[in-house]
Amino acid sequence: MAATQAPQWDARYLNPDCPHDTSYYLKCIGGGILACGTTHTAVCPLDVVKCNMQVSPEMYKSLGQGIKLVAGSEGLGSTGLLKGWLPTFIGYSTQGAFKFGLYEVFKDFYANLAGKENAEKYQGLIWLAGSASAEFFADMGLCPFEMVKVKVQTSPKGTFPTKMLSAMSTMRADPASGFPYKSLVPLWCRQIPYTMAKFYFFERIVRMFYEYVFTQPKSDYSKTTQLSITFASGYIAGVVCAIVSHPADTLVSARGKAANAGKTYGQIAKEMGYMNLCTKGLGTRILMIGTLTGLQWWIYDTYKATLGMGTSGGSAKK
């Protein structure tokens, strides 16, 4: 009688209480839409000022001064501090769907390719590969809306439409704008390192919390405690993300300036200078991205916990 063959190891079924089936991935897509669309829209005023600090540093010298300048000259509504909110909401909702949903898909896919032993040994590399693959596709959905958002937010008052559809039509009619995918490569350069840092450091920091600070099994802690750990881990990861992705973010913002139409990204970078590229608007971006990333993970995990999927991260043994 032949020996019974051991069942094949499958990363999708490591947690029998929450198998990673199609329903699970679809729920993660929903969580990504909720987490990214709402948070990016909520920090739209900060984004308006940050983009203008990057594009026109001679006018926008600090966050406080920039807020006063925009509010004073353009107001507080959709033509002022909230301009670009609609392409922000649609673009980042689309991006969030792919970013979080496909991360779960690719993470399981690469783990299964590696096999049980290598998946455990090279777990960090799987997080990095999964997040990079997910963001590659997420940016394709984001790019047209990001280009419109930046153009709307950085154009001087009265020189460019502030409504999304009008702005899209104007950019489509202008070959120099490069709409809708001229910014895709620098967006990849900004967002892929950002997302790799976002997911890698989040996963790593969560595990460190549960290993060195909250040392009981994860399930022993209340959902409030688990979600607090989620937020703290997301915020710390967000600070790293902001620093890693800032030079490319500056280039994407500068591309929307009328004076830079037709220039290559290399020319824009040379004219701005390396220090400005890496530091101008960085403090505002750290504040914005740290808060935004922490809130994204908190919203995403609150959504997952509500649906009985548990919170993200932490050792499988916990």
Give the per-residue pLDDT at 213.
94
State pLDDT tens for residues 161-210: 999 999 999 999 999 889 999 999 989 988 898 899 999 999 999 999 99
Q: At what angle are helices 282-306 and 184-208 packed, to 10 degrees?
A: 60
The span from the CA of 188 to the CA of 191, in Å, is: 5
Average pLDDT of the residues of the chain: 89
299/287 Cα distance (integer angstroms) = 18
Give the CATH number of domain 17-307.
1.50.40.10
Q: What integer pLDDT is reported at residue 193 of this predicted model? A: 87
Say if residue 1's pLDDT is above 70.
no
Summarize pLDDT for 89-143 with one digit per residue, the tens. Answer: 999 999 999 999 999 999 999 999 999 999 999 999 999 999 999 999 999 999 9
Confidence of residue 80 (pLDDT cuts 50, 70, 90): confident
Higher per-residue confidence, 52 vs 100 = 100
Angle, helix 223-254 to helix 265-272, in steps of 10 degrees: 90
Rounded to two decimals, what is the model's pTM? 0.83
pLDDT tens-place string over residues 12-35: 998 888 999 999 999 999 999 999
Q: What is the crossing angle of helices 282-306 and 22-42, to 10°?
A: 140
**Which comes out higher in pLDDT, residue 110 or 63?**
110
Output the pLDDT for position 7: 65
* Alpha carbons within 13 A on the beta-carbon side of 212: 6
In 8-24, which positions are buried (b, 16+ CB within 10 angstroms) versus exposed (e)?
eeebbeeeeeeebeeeb
On the question of pLDDT at 3 being above 80, the answer is no
Give the pLDDT score at 256.
66
pLDDT digits (tens, 9 = 90+) for 252-294: 777 667 777 777 778 888 878 878 787 777 888 888 788 889 9
